[in-house]
């Protein structure tokens, strides 16, 4: 009988250590995994990544599950140690349980905490993906205990005024800064790449109105102008892209010509005209740059809500402000100068 109890205690102890290793490692892996990589995999139809992304979008359920799981693991290991001590030691009492627990604490810490945390730290994505189904099962089993914890957390967040979205934003920003600093430290990011990322973070959501060339001040030509006159005009103003407006209009810009095409191509001028990308003036700088890139165009025309042309925007001016965001302030003080400089690109 004592042998069966001892065997049961050993098996229970192994199960407790295994549970502790699983939940402790999963917690470390969760904070180490690349959420961007998971998101990309999930959007390609990866069901495992989609399962993990659900917990990324609802981190309180992940934390509550690991909390309940770790407590259950601790209780199971403590129970196993108590049963084993009762068989191996004749004396009874709280002192025996405390001493035996202390003796087994290094084993629990090594195999149930330290080793799994190190493994998940080194390979978070692989191990989380491998055990995602198991964690989901535990989440569903522990729901009666974890859901009240989640409700309590949300109540505290509501009373303190710290919403989960704000917490996620701060956490995400710290992660991004950490990634950028590590990339620069290991030589993976050059100074120019760092400037570009900084510019994207600070300039992407701004409107491009400060970078516009006003419609009435664009250096361009009227449609129907002969080739030689166009080339002379482009050379005089140092232009590589020549905006084209409708006939008998001073501000109805609809296309542009590459000066290089005018010089090298023998095709009619009308066939060389490229249409401008049409954008609302409420577009952000990043949206404008993406639209230009997608259409393979160098210039865009921005219109107000009533359809009137506000001005022209060049791809080079956008890239310049993303690459050198610190110099954007001086350019905003003289939008006409900035527009003319951009139009030479």
- The pLDDT of residue 267 is 92
User: Do 252 and 152 have their domain in common?
Assistant: no
What CATH number is associated with residue 248?
3.10.580.10
pLDDT in tens, 31-56: 888 777 788 788 888 899 999 999 98
| Cα–Cα distance for residue pair 78/6, rounded to 1 Å | 14
Same-domain check for residues 151 and 178: no
Q: Domain check: are 29 and 103 in the same one?
A: yes
pLDDT at 168: 46
Residue 319 has a pLDDT of 82
- Is-contact 153 167, C-beta < 8 A? no
> Can you give the pLDDT at residue 154?
81
Question: Does one domain contain both 56 and 12?
Answer: yes
Which pLDDT value is given to residue 90? 64
Domain with 307, as residue range(s), is 208-343
- 147 shares its domain with 80: yes
Same domain, residue pair 238 and 160: no
* pTM (whole model) above 0.75: no
Average pLDDT of the residues in 317-334 = 58
Structural domains of the chain, count: 3
Residue 251 and residue 185 share a domain: no
pLDDT at 182: 59
Residue 334 is predicted with a pLDDT of 35
Q: Are residues 165 and 179 in the same domain?
A: no
253 and 230 in a common domain: yes
Give the percent of the chain with pLDDT over 90: 39
- Let me know whether 13 and 152 are in one domain: yes
Name which of 45-54, 191-200, 258-267, 336-345 the model is least confident about: 336-345
Are 313 and 214 in a shared domain?
Answer: yes
Give the position of tokens 């140690």: 81
| Of 4-13, 201-210, 254-263, 271-280, minimum mean pLDDT range | 201-210
Give pLDDT, residue 207. 83
Inform me whether the pLDDT recorded for 1 exceeds 70.
no
| Mean pLDDT, residues 202-229 taken together | 86
Q: What is the pLDDT of residue 3?
A: 78
How many Cα atoms are found within 13 Å in the side-chain-facing hemisphere of 224? 5
Last residue of a domain, one of 154, 182, 199: 199
Residues 46 and 183 in one domain: no
- When pLDDT is cut at 50, 70 and 90, the band that residue 115 belongs to is very high
In terms of DSSP bridges, do strands 299-303 and 277-280 run parallel, antiparallel, or are they unpaired? parallel
Give the pLDDT band of residue 190 (cuts 50, 70, 90): low
């Amino acid at each position: 009988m004592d042998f069966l109890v001892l065997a049961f205690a050993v098996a229970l102890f192994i199960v407790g250590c295994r549970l502790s290793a699983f939940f402790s490692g999963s917690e470390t892996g969760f904070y180490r995994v690349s959420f961007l990589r998971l998101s990309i995999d999930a959007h390609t139809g990866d069901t495992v990544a989609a399962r993990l992304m659900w917990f990324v979008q609802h981190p309180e359920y992940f934390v509550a599950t690991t909390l309940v799981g770790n407590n259950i693991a601790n209780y199971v290991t403590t129970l196993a140690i108590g049963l084993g001590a009762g068989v191996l030691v004749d004396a009874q009492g709280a002192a025996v349980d405390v001493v035996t627990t202390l003796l087994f604490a290094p084993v629990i810490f090594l195999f149930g905490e330290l080793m799994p945390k190190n493994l998940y730290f080194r390979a978070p994505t692989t191990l989380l993906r491998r055990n995602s189904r198991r964690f989901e099962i535990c989440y569903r089993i522990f729901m009666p205990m974890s859901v009240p914890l989640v409700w309590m957390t949300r109540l505290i967040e509501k009373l303190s005024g710290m919403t989960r979205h704000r917490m996620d934003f701060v956490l995400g920003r710290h992660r991004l800064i950490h990634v950028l600093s590590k990339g620069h430290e290991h030589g993976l990011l050059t100074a120019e790449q760092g400037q570009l990322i900084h510019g994207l973070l600070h300039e992407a959501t701004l409107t491009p109105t400060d970078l516009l060339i006003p419609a009435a001040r664009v250096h361009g030509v009227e449609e129907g102008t002969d080739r030689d006159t166009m080339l002379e005009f482009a050379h005089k103003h140092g232009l590589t892209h020549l905006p084209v407006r409708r006939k008998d209009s001073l501000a109805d810009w609809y296309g542009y010509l590459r000066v290089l095409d005018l010089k090298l191509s023998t095709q009619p001028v009308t066939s060389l005209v490229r249409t401008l990308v049409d954008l609302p003036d409420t577009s952000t700088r990043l949206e404008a740059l993406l639209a230009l890139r997608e259409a393979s165009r160098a210039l865009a025309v921005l219109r107000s809500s009533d359809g009137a042309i506000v001005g022209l925007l060049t791809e080079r001016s956008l890239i310049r402000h993303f690459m050198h965001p610190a110099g954007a302030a001086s350019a905003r003080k003289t939008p006409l100068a900035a527009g003319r400089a951009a139009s030479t690109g």
